[in-house]
Structure 1
Amino acid sequence: MQVSSYRKRYSFLIASCMAVSLLLSSCGVKNETSKTQDMKPQTEQVDSSTGSSDSSTVKDSTAPGDPESKVIASIPERNIYMYGLDNGVELRVGDLVQQYDWIYNTPRGIEPRLAVKDYDGDGHNELAVILYVGSGTGVSLEELHMIEMEEDPKLQDRQFMENDYLDQVNPAISFKPIKEAEELIAEVKVGSKKTEVIMKKYYDHDEFGAVRKQLGIRDVVGFSFDDNNDIKARFGVPFLFEKIASPQYFGDLNADVSYHDGQFTLSNFEFIAEENL
Structure 2
Amino acid sequence: MKRVILIFLLCAALLCGCSGRAAPAEAPTVSLQAGTVMGRSYAPESPLPREVTPMEQGVALTEQGTIWRSAESPDGRAALYRLNRDTVLIEWDGSVAMFGGWQFETPRTIDPWMAVLDVNGTATADTLVVDLYTGSGTGVSVEELHLLTRDEHGAITDYPLPEALYTEELARQIAVDVKANTLTLGAATLALPEPEKGFSLTGAVNLRDQVHFSASVTGEVELELGVQLERTGSAVPVPAGRLRANVCLDRETGVYTLENITLGGY
Greater Rg over alpha carbons, structure = 1
One of 261, 264, 269 as aligned partner of 2:256: 264
One of 189, 194, 210 as aligned partner of 1:220: 210
Provide the secondary structure at the position in 2 that maps to 1:165.
helix
User: Any idea what the Cα deviations from partners look like across 1:54-87, whole Å, max 9, x if unmatched?
Assistant: xxxxxx9xx6622356332212525211123323
Aligned partner of 1:90 in structure 2 is 89
Mark the CA change 1:197 to 1:228 in structure 2 (over 3 Å): closer, same or farther: farther
2:258 is matched by which residue type in structure 1?
A: L
User: Any idea what the Cα deviations from partners look like across 1:125-172, whole Å, max 9, x if unmatched?
Assistant: 111111111111232211111111236672111111112333431133
Contact 1:115 1:229 in 2 (8 A): no
Aligned partner of 1:195 in structure 2 is 190
Provide the secondary structure at the position in 2 that maps to 1:198.
coil
Aligned partner of 1:157 in structure 2 is 158
2:130 is matched by which residue type in structure 1?
A: V
Measure, in 2, the Cα distance between the counterparts of 1:245 and 1:163.
21
2:48 is matched by which residue type in structure 1?
A: G
Mark the CA change 1:153 to 1:64 in structure 2 (over 3 Å): closer, same or farther: closer
2:155 is matched by which residue type in structure 1?
A: K
1:193 is matched by which residue type in structure 2?
A: A
Q: 1:88-237 to 2 correspondence within 5 Å?
A: 88-101=87-100, 102-120=102-120, 125-150=126-151, 154-178=155-179, 186-199=181-194, 203-206=195-198, 208=199, 210-237=200-227
2:142 is matched by which residue type in structure 1?
A: L
Provide the secondary structure at the position in 1 that maps to 2:235.
coil
Contact 2:115 2:130 in 1 (8 A): yes
Q: With the length of structure 2 as denominator, give the TM-score of the two structures.
A: 0.67
* Higher percent of residues as strand: 2
1:170 is matched by which residue type in structure 2?
A: A
Contact 2:167 2:206 in 1 (8 A): no
- Gaps spanning 5+ residues in structure 2: where? 1-44, 54-68
**Count of aligned pairs:** 203
Q: 1:20-35 to 2 correspondence within 5 Å?
A: none
Larger RCO: 1 or 2 (CA < 8 Å, sep 6+): 2
2:114 is matched by which residue type in structure 1?
A: L
1:66 is matched by which residue type in structure 2?
A: P
Measure, in 2, the Cα distance between the counterparts of 1:258 and 1:130.
15
**Identity, % of aligned positions:** 28
Measure, in 2, the Cα distance between the counterparts of 1:226 and 1:154.
25
RMSD (CA atoms) = 2.6
Contact 1:115 1:127 in 2 (8 A): yes
2:49 is matched by which residue type in structure 1?
A: D
Aligned partner of 2:48 in structure 1 is 65
1:93 is matched by which residue type in structure 2?
A: W
* Higher percent of residues as helix: 1
Measure, in 2, the Cα distance between the counterparts of 1:64 and 1:106.
28
Q: With the length of structure 1 as denominator, give the TM-score of the two structures.
A: 0.65
Using the TM superposition, give the Cα deviation of residue 117 of structure 1 relative to its aligned residue in structure 2, in angstroms. Answer: 2.7
User: Any idea what the Cα deviations from partners look like across 1:29-68, whole Å, max 9, x if unmatched?
Assistant: xxxxxxxxxxxxxxxxxxxxxxxxxxxxxxx9xx662235
Provide the secondary structure at the position in 2 that maps to 1:205.
coil
Contact 2:52 2:72 in 1 (8 A): no
- Gaps spanning 5+ residues in structure 1: where? 1-59, 180-185
Task: Find out whether 1:81 has 2:79 as its counterpart.
Answer: yes
